[in-house]
Structure 1
Amino acid sequence: MALPDFFLLGAPKAGTTALHAALAQHPQLYLSAVKEPKFYLCDGRPPPRSGQRGPGDAHSAQEWVWRRGEYEALFDVAPPGTLKGESTPFYLYDRTAQRRIHADVPHAKMLVVLRDPIDRAYSNWMHLWSDGLEPIGDFAQAWAAEDARVEAGWAPFWHYRRLGLYGEQLRDLIDLFGREQVHVLRYRDLVETPDLALDKVCAFLGVDPGRVEQPARENSRSYVEPGARSAVLSRVVRAGAAAGACAPPQIWRRASEPLLRLLQQGGARRPVLDQEVRMRLVEAYREDNALLNELAGQSFGDWMGTTSRGQFAPTAGEN
């Protein structure tokens, strides 16, 4: 069977897209052409609608690679002798996915990319807001809506707070695979010292260092300022995404491109998260952060401060 030798996981908006693109350059590695196939989130069947009830969820779920034959075909074209890998950040959050991976490839290596959980959640919210899918135009209010959304069956991408509980997620991953099969990489290191960070990743995977270039900024959105215009356009986007759940995903993507360009035009600079809001929300991670420090053998204490650190160049579209 053609299955991965390693996985890139962590959380959405934590740098896995950039790392995937960087490692794909390495001649000794093969990264699946489909990023985030999400195969191990499934159980040999399409993702259930009961867990895809947020705006755009059902449309997005159509792109998941849930058939085993299609998943294995992603790696059939890997050159002989290369290590095969794929990137699905949600595998860290989903414990059932972790167990499925372990059952299939118990010796796989796990690359875990972690980002300041408040920065990550804010970027996650910004991504959905700027795509017209997030109906709440205030980050703190959207954060507060999480429990109700989880209860209603919104997909994991909407779990702003829960996705950042890295300590308990990493604990369960290590319990399955062992500490020697897990490498923890900080988003901040990938940004600030990319050559060193990438060489450590290569050493962990057992391939030659110095064979990949610094990752470029990936997967960004232009900030959409709240207002009557954006509210109308966003409602149209959400209605279209709901309708698109009944059509092939590529059709809705093509149809929505002009609308998204109109929504995102202007390239407004993303506002900095208010320090008071940040400190109120960061308390949700204090206990979990202590567990993460212990498991990873390094300090993530800077995440408990009033300001974020470590991001790609702050352009108008960065998030």
Structure 2
Amino acid sequence: MPDFLVIGAAKAGTSALYRYMREHPQIFMPGKEIRFFAYDDGPEARDRMARFGRDHFEVRSLAAYEALFAEADPALAWGEIAPIYLESPSAPRRIRDLAPQVRLIASLRNPVHRAFSGYVMQVRSGREGREMRDAFDPASHHVQAGFYHAQVKRYLDHFPKEQLMLVLYEDFARDNAATLARVFDFIGVDTDFAPPLHERHNVSTYPRSKLFNSLIENRLTRDVLRPALPGWARHLARRAKKGNLGRAPKIPPEIHAELLRIYRDDILRLQDLTRLDLSAWLEPPA
């Protein structure tokens, strides 16, 4: 079982954490987004497989999960990163039952910006076709994933608060080195190690033509047509897709204001629960 888990949130710096942490000589991580602890073989898992495909949960058995660490040096700190663990209702209980001593790290991002970044990602992946003005109703996954109070409380209901470290994405973005030193200290590895922080990871992009993007990113193309293409054709398709991507747009002030209205009470409840200063998240759009 792992010594630590980075449990989320999605679009809150977990890709950068993974890339930086795996460089540490005292850390072993088998891969990102294994998602084992979120597989409950029930409605939650079936819903995610319906949205993202059956290979969304590649590791489903305890034996297969343990095998990921079979060759790891026991002297290292073992861990994995899966943003789904924070929003998954079943993951906290499964983690407690199988790894009760594990150290948990949650990176939390201003939910307004997280929701917009999630929308941008889903447009890019071909899973979101709605225009911005229609995509942020409170029931949408973009919005639901940012209600952190209940997500964090589930972990505090299952683990002592000393086992849960909360990282603010904004602090991480402002000072990578200081945040990583705190994380390394929390999991008990050398805090003086400095990974190459000049590299940027998972930079947000947005399709210039959403129609073209939807043609090359729909499920039929991904699962049926693309695998049947010869290698040179797949290479051209990848180049065409990359050429269609530009800089991600900024969140429009009216969408920012509406999302802030939706999240305000949850932010205040999270602030009371965690004693974090979240006042910056409550600031209106510039």
**Could you say which residue in structure 1 is the equivalent of 2:109?**
115
Q: Which aligned pairs between 1:198-237 and structure 2 lie closer than 5 A?
A: 198-213=180-195, 215=197, 216-226=199-209, 230-237=210-217
**Could you say which residue in structure 2 is the equivalent of 1:189?**
171
What secondary structure sits across from 1:223 in the alignment? strand
Deviation per residue, 1:195-231 (Å, 9 max, x gap)? 11111112211222121325432123432124xxx31
Report if the CA contact (8 A) 2:11-2:117 is conserved. yes
Would the alpha carbon gap of residues 176 and 242 (structure 1) be closer, same or farther in structure 2, given more than 3 Å must change?
same
Name the CA distance, whole Å, in 2 between partners of 1:176 and 1:134. Answer: 34
Name the CA distance, whole Å, in 1 between partners of 2:151 and 2:273. Answer: 11
Report if the CA contact (8 A) 2:24-2:195 is conserved. no
Would the alpha carbon gap of residues 60 and 14 (structure 1) be closer, same or farther in structure 2, given more than 3 Å must change?
farther
**Could you say which residue in structure 2 is the equivalent of 1:270?**
248
Report if the CA contact (8 A) 1:130-1:221 is conserved. no
Indicate the larger mover: 205-214 or 195-204: 205-214
Q: Are residue 70 (structure 1) and residue 50 (structure 2) matched?
A: no
Q: Are residue 58 (structure 1) and residue 40 (structure 2) matched?
A: no
Structure 1 counterpart of 2:79, which letter? G
Name the CA distance, whole Å, in 2 between partners of 1:68 and 1:45. Answer: 16
Question: How many residues were matched structurally?
Answer: 283
How much does 1:13 deviate? 1.1
Deviation per residue, 1:114-138 (Å, 9 max, x gap)? 11111111111111212223212x2
What secondary structure sits across from 1:268 in the alignment? strand
Would the alpha carbon gap of residues 65 and 98 (structure 1) be closer, same or farther in structure 2, given more than 3 Å must change?
same
Q: Are residue 139 (structure 1) and residue 136 (structure 2) matched?
A: no
How much does 1:182 deviate? 0.4
Report if the CA contact (8 A) 2:40-2:90 is conserved. no
How much does 1:258 deviate? 4.2
Name the CA distance, whole Å, in 1 between partners of 2:40 and 2:103. Answer: 21
Name the CA distance, whole Å, in 1 between partners of 2:134 and 2:194. Answer: 41
**Could you say which residue in structure 1 is the equivalent of 2:12?**
14
Identity %: 28
Name the CA distance, whole Å, in 2 between partners of 1:169 and 1:276. Answer: 27
What secondary structure sits across from 1:7 in the alignment? strand
Would the alpha carbon gap of residues 257 and 223 (structure 1) be closer, same or farther in structure 2, given more than 3 Å must change?
farther
Name the CA distance, whole Å, in 2 between partners of 1:9 and 1:108. Answer: 11
How much does 1:236 deviate? 4.6
**Could you say which residue in structure 2 is the equivalent of 1:42?**
39
Name the CA distance, whole Å, in 1 between partners of 2:155 and 2:120. Answer: 28
- Partner residue of 2:160 out of 157, 172, 178: 178
Name the CA distance, whole Å, in 1 between partners of 2:44 and 2:152. Answer: 24
How much does 1:240 deviate? 2.1
**Could you say which residue in structure 2 is the equivalent of 1:152?**
none
Structure 2 counterpart of 1:85, which letter? G
Report if the CA contact (8 A) 1:44-1:68 is conserved. no
How much does 1:278 deviate? 0.3
| Unaligned segments of structure 2, at least 5 residues | none
Would the alpha carbon gap of residues 307 and 218 (structure 1) be closer, same or farther in structure 2, given more than 3 Å must change?
farther
Deviation per residue, 1:221-251 (Å, 9 max, x gap)? 432124xxx315414521425745xx9x988
**Could you say which residue in structure 2 is the equivalent of 1:155?**
none
Q: Are residue 98 (structure 1) and residue 92 (structure 2) matched?
A: yes
Report if the CA contact (8 A) 1:130-1:264 is conserved. no
**Could you say which residue in structure 2 is the equivalent of 1:154?**
none
Name the CA distance, whole Å, in 1 between partners of 2:228 and 2:177. Answer: 40
How much does 1:69 deviate? 2.0
What secondary structure sits across from 1:143 in the alignment? coil
Would the alpha carbon gap of residues 173 and 274 (structure 1) be closer, same or farther in structure 2, given more than 3 Å must change?
same
Indicate the larger mover: 161-170 or 45-54: 45-54
Structure 1 counterpart of 2:153, which letter? R
What secondary structure sits across from 2:165 in the alignment? strand
**TM-score (norm. length: structure 1):** 0.79
Report if the CA contact (8 A) 2:2-2:79 is conserved. yes
| Unaligned segments of structure 1, at least 5 residues | 150-158, 309-319
Would the alpha carbon gap of residues 92 and 239 (structure 1) be closer, same or farther in structure 2, given more than 3 Å must change?
closer
